[in-house]
Amino acid sequence: MSNVIVHSLFSEFDINLFKGGKHFRLYDKLGSHLIEVDGVKGTYFAVWAPSAKSVSVIGDFNYWNAGEHELNVRWDSSGIWEGFIPGVDKGTKYKYKIQSHNNDIWTEKADPFARFCEQPPNTASLVWDAPYDWKDKKWMDTREEKNALDKPYSVYEVHLGSWKKKNGWESLSYIEMADELVDYVDKMGFTHVEFMPVMEYPYDPSWGYQITGYFAPTSRFGKPEDFKVLVDKFHQKGIGVILDWVPSHFPEDAHGLGYFDGSHLYEHPDRRRGYHPDWKSLIFNYGRNEVRAFLISNAIFWLDQYHVDGLRVDAVASMLYLDYSREDGEWEPNMYGNNENLEALSFLREMNQEVYASFKGVQTIAEESTAFSGVTKPVHFGGLGFGMKWMMGWMHDTLEFFKKEPIYRSYDLNDITFSMTYAFTENFVLPFSHDEVVYGKQSLLYRMPGDEWQRFANLRLLFGYMFTHPGGNLLFMGGEFGQSSEWDFQQSLDWHLTQYDFHSGIQEVIKDLNKLYKNNPALYQKQFSPDGFQWIEYNDKENTVITYLRKGEDPKDDLIIACNFTPVPRENYRVGVPKNTQLKLVFNSDDSKYSGSGIGKKTLKPSKTEWNGQAQSVVMTLPPLSVVVYK
């Protein structure tokens, strides 16, 4: 086989953009690309390694011998090494063997821009392209409307490796999930699915959050084009796809990004800013132009090449603060003397600006657990520019409230009502995510108090309250049928439980709540606006009941919601209503079809009795541990 032929995919303009941190389609240039040069087929390789003395491509085509296929360094001080190797075909395994100027250190690295990787524990990159004939034109043409902030956002969060197993131990493939998972999410009525990280990762217990192959769908479940089939099938059912994305940190694995060319290339060189003590991982250097271009190119890549509809950005809080999980003396203030990571803030703003400018109808969602202001405000108004943010405070307060025995809940009703004091400061998604059902926290079902009947009634009430509270919703897999055990990434969900009435009843509740959400504009048109919510009564501690209105553009769409947080039925419970028109029951979490008691009135006629500041009122029967919704 001949040696490396001088060739480049870079123009001078590309290099200037790259060095300036403004090249956001780097995946078209860096990495391995199957091309033809002067009638000869082969692969072009390009890698950024500015501290290298030499860079060779090693692989199964040259018996992993360094020096046989040495790349050429560019003359423009970009730090890019490149060249064309004839005869290297699709599927070829390879790595970069890098000799550093730093004391002649040698590293052997996977390609940061590889489109496909060996299945772990193997670590080589694979030369790959993934041509695919997309069939989701209808979704893509209408996505801007369907994926907008004034449309329903009900998300099913999935860990692909453990959603369902075959033969008792083997995960489903992307192709198998394109049938089973897509049909299930469609049947349950969710509007979106969110995948925990699909980018290649070496260590299963990390759940995918320690990434080594940022541009490669994990090979655990099939080929890159198979993952495109999965996304495509969701789109054909009108379901949006969100990916967890991790620009906050990366692992120190020998073949990964760490100490890539014998220098601190991708990670910040100062350990106080470049090492994460919680996750024992490295932190990107957000102030380095080429690193910013790498990360923003990666965000763009999934939206561009895989038609993804949203990115949920992991661990944003850890990026925003220099003292995150650090004691005094373990961090250094910024130029203004405070704890904000100015370079990370700048990066997040630029990433969001580029994403929203480049794609219609996509959303970025921040997992941000602090009170940092303006996460979902536009960048030109001084915000970070995200579309939505997880409402972690609501999740914590709600679960703390629900775990209490009902007899004590009246003293802590503020835990439930407090969220409305800040509900519209950001565009919030209400999450019951994977983090809430691991590490001894128990499943959602077993965090509920009482006997079996009360546990399930509490869970139905919890979900009813969640879906009628302003904001989008996210539920981790298993919660939708009342999984009884904690989530274990090594095992399938306990699907056998759905044969039992209580568990299948939870499934039916989620189906009907998704229908309620999607079919009632009052629950989504103004879900991020204070105009869409009004308290009727928030301080009835004697009965431990709250009542509120959800409002849409048209007053005839308004809904009246009552939540009874005790196992005592409330007969003749009077509620003030804004109009003197008959009300119809549209949801009752205590319905007998959910294995509830079936208590509740189908219709209510107002009387001219003033109540709750309204000129008229109705008398309800509130079932035990229930939410009822009237229209």
- Helix 501-519 to helix 452-468 angle (10° resolution) is 10
Strands 472-476 and 533-540: unpaired
C-alpha closest to that of 149 among 495, 568, 532: 532
User: CB-based contacts of 394: which residues, under 8 Å, 6+ apart?
Assistant: 419, 423, 428, 430, 469, 471
* Integer Cα distance of 116 and 122 in angstroms: 12
Instruction: Give residue 340's Cα distance to chain centre.
Output: 24
From residue 626, alpha-carbon distances to 40, 102, 457, 569 in Å are 70, 66, 7, 9
Return the SS3 of 90.
coil
Q: Which residues pair with 607 in a beta bridge?
A: 617
Catalytic residue among 232, 314, 350, 591: 314
DSSP code string of 438-487 = STTS--SGGGS-SSHHHHHHHHHHHHHHHHHSSSEEEEETTGGGT--SPP
To the query of whether residue 14 is one of the catalytic residues in this protein, the response is no
Q: What residues does 157 pair with on adjacent strands?
A: 194, 476
Tokens of 87: 């005869």
User: Is the distance from CB of 260 to CB of 107 less than 8 angstroms?
Assistant: yes
Write a three-state SS string for 370-388: CCCCCCCCCHHHCCCCCCE
Identify whether 314 is a catalytic site residue.
yes
Task: Beginning with the edge strand found earlier in the chain, give each strand of the sheet holding 626-630 in spatial order.
Answer: 533-540, 545-550, 559-564, 626-630, 583-588, 603-604
**Active-site entry in 253, 267, 309, 367:** 367
Q: Catalogue the active-site residues.
A: 314, 367
